[in-house]
Each structure stands twice: as C-alpha cells, then as structure tokens.
Amino acid sequence: MAVTSFMLAGCTHTGAGALEKLSAELSTRGLKKPLVVTDKGVVKAGILEKVQAVLKAAGIPCEVFDETVPNPTDVNVEACRKLYEEKGCDCLVAVGGGSSMDCAKGCGVIAGRKKTINDFEGVGLLEGPMPFFVAVPTTAGTGSETTLFAVITSTKEAHPRKTVVADPRMLPNVGIVDPLLMLDLPPHITASTGMDAMTHAVEGLISRLTYEYPIAFCKESIRLIARYLPRAVGNGHDVEAREKMAYAQTMAGMGFSNAGVGVVHGMAHPLSAFYGIAHGDANAVLLPYGLEYNKMVRMDAIAEIAELIGVKTCGMSTLDAANAAIAGIQELNALLGIPRTISELAKQRGLKVDKKDIPALAQDAMKDISMTFNPRIATQKEIEARYELAWG
C-alpha cells in the first residue's frame, strides 16, 4: 500500500454572501495591496465592483488587471506579472472563471523571478512560494480555487499549445465560492462550465491514481451536478441550485487536483488551443467518447456513475450499467443543449474546425500531462481514432 498525500486549499468559504470574507482574509495577514486579476466579462457583469466595494469598506485599495483572455497565454501572464511588479502589489485575488484563475496563478509563479511561465511547464518546478493567493470563482466549473494546476497556452511553438504547470505551492491560500456571484451567468456558460466540473469529477473518479479521498469527493460531485446543473441552466436565479453547483465544482476540484484527470482533458486542450473552443464545451462533447475508451479497464467505476446520475441499475450487469452511465451523460448533455459531436459544436458556436488537423491534435494530446493519469495508456493512433469518432 502506498502512502497518499491529500492536498487542499488553506481555507474554502462557500455559500451565499461568502465574498464578505475577502477583506478579513487579507487584513488579518497585514496584506494591503492586492492585484485583482479578472476579465472584461466579469467587469461588465458588475462583479468586479462588488469585490472592490468589499475591499474598500475595509480600507484596502486594489490594483486591477482585467486583460485576461480566454485560454490565457504566456503573453497574457507576462502582462499580468508586469503590472503586479510595477504597482508593488503584495498578494493576488483572482476573480472570474478558469482563465482568470490560471492567469493569476501563472503571474504568482513568475512574480519576482526572471523567467517566463513556459519555464515552469511540468510538475513541481516552482522555485519558491507564490504570493498570498485568493481565488474567487464566478463560474461553477473549474474548481481552480482548490487545485494545484494552471493551464497556460504557449505561443512559442508552430501553433498554440496548452501547457500545464502543477505544484502544491500553487494551491490557493483561500477560496471564496459565492453562488450569488454566479446568478447572472448565461445558460450556455452555466452548462459548459458545469460539464467541465462533471468531467473533473468523472476523470478524478476513474484516474489511475485515484484513491479513497478523491473517490468520495468525485462521487458526491457527480451526484450533485446531475441533479442541480439542469436546474441552474433552466433558471440562473435558482439560488439553491447555484449553491449546490458551487459545492459540487469545488469538490470535483478537491478530487481531481489529487487524482488527476485523463484522456478527455488531454483531447480537449488541443481543441481549445487550435480553434478557441471553450474548455467546458470540449470536455462535455468528449466525455462520452472518453468513457467509452476507458470502459474496458474501469468498468466497475464507470458502472457506479449510472446510479450517481439517477439511472436505476438494479438487475443490470456491470457492462450494461457502464453503458447506461455513458448514455446518461449523453442525455444530460442533450438536456443542457450541448451537441454530440465536435463538428456540431463548432457549427453551433460559429467556430471553424478542420478534420485534417486530427493527427496534429492527437500529437498535442499525447504531450498533455492529463494523459499520464488516464487509466488506459493511449497510443497516438487510438487518440486519432477517438477524435474521428467524436468529430461526427
């Protein structure tokens, strides 16, 4: 039996009104000048204003970097670091979806160092601690407030490539998960980010490195998402559904941060890097194909997903239950308005994709660190075949 080391954020505040905890988390540590890392969408939605009001009431002025782009690049991270250093900030507060979290984490990794974020691709390569870091998610998806990863798009290669920087020192000191910040998230983004969380939970559950703690968090997360995501998509102001999704996405983060993800994330990252497909959309579409691929090696665990998502499996064989789980995930996608194939998804989102890229996509997927946690060791030809199937 191996020794396991389960790692979480220092403290996670969850629930309606949790944002109020922000100022005390900074002031009790003598922190006076946070850089708030966010994006234009969060500013437009009025969420930055709420964060600033909480800080102002406690007499804490903040600087703001609101230039985060979707799938943030090394260039984006560099701009954020420049502002952090120029303004003499003493801590980071990420406010937004996964992109703002990743950009802020990337900034923390290189702040005060003479290196680029690309120098830290891989696991455990940080040269010292990050600045004090608070993560305030505005979507229920990424779980980044409790994970030790950042995904940054490298622009230094022939085509953009998503890279993963992972280190226990990147775990946020504080997570603030306030469902009231998520009420106005549009339905399609609620669906997409929610299915990202579902993919974290499913891949964390079946990962080759999973064990008791991640299994517990991932299972409860799957159960909550199946039950409450359709409600949150149907009515964004359903506070109970938003709150359950807030818990579910953080629990998925707690699970996959300790167990890893797998082939679905490995294949989704190149789709975002090549075509700008939203991370959650790519995961949602690929999830049934990834489960089908892993079914023969993790049939028991996949079969258990069926009951968690509300499919009655009494009297079914393990294989039938695993198939029912995969069909159930497809039905959930359909209920949320997410298409079954990559080409349908691209059409729906107005994005251009090209099937001729499959070998290059598969090549990048094989380089992705997510693949190392997948329960079945994949070959490039197998990944190409999965893309073919998923393309439609």
Binding site for Fe ion (CB under 5 A): 196
Nearest one of 193, 229, 200 to 217, comparing CA atoms: 200
Is the Cβ of residue 39 or residue 196 nearer to Fe ion in the bound state? 196
Q: Which two tokens stand for residue 156?
A: 């230094």
By beta carbon distance, the residue nearest Fe ion is 196
Is the Cβ of residue 196 or residue 364 nearer to Fe ion in the bound state? 196
For the CB of residue 265, give the shortest distance to Fe ion in the complex, in Å: 6
Is the Cβ of residue 145 or residue 196 nearer to Fe ion in the bound state? 196
Q: Which two tokens stand for residue 172?
A: 């946020």
For the CB of residue 279, give the shortest distance to Fe ion in the complex, in Å: 6
Type of residue at 140: A
For the CB of residue 181, give the shortest distance to Fe ion in the complex, in Å: 19
Which region holds residue 222: left if phi is over 0, alpha if psi is between -120 and 50, else beta? alpha
Q: Tell me which DSSP letter residue 73 carries.
A: B
Q: Tell me which DSSP letter residue 129 carries.
A: P
Measure the CA–CA gap between 84 and 33, rounded to whole angstroms: 10
Is the Cβ of residue 25 or residue 196 nearer to Fe ion in the bound state? 196
CB neighbour list of residue 180: distance below 8 Å, 6 or more residues apart: 16, 17, 19, 239, 242
Is the Cβ of residue 36 or residue 135 nearer to Fe ion in the bound state? 135
Measure the CA–CA gap between 279 and 270, rounded to whole angstroms: 10
Residue 112 in contact with residue 72, Cβ under 8 Å?
no
3-state class (DSSP) for residue 122: strand
Is the Cβ of residue 7 or residue 58 nearer to Fe ion in the bound state? 7
For the CB of residue 283, give the shortest distance to Fe ion in the complex, in Å: 6
For the CB of residue 103, give the shortest distance to Fe ion in the complex, in Å: 15
For the CB of residue 50, give the shortest distance to Fe ion in the complex, in Å: 26
- Which whole-number Å values give the CA distances from 235 to 17, 48, 247, in the listed order? 20, 23, 18
Is the Cβ of residue 178 or residue 196 nearer to Fe ion in the bound state? 196
For the CB of residue 200, give the shortest distance to Fe ion in the complex, in Å: 6
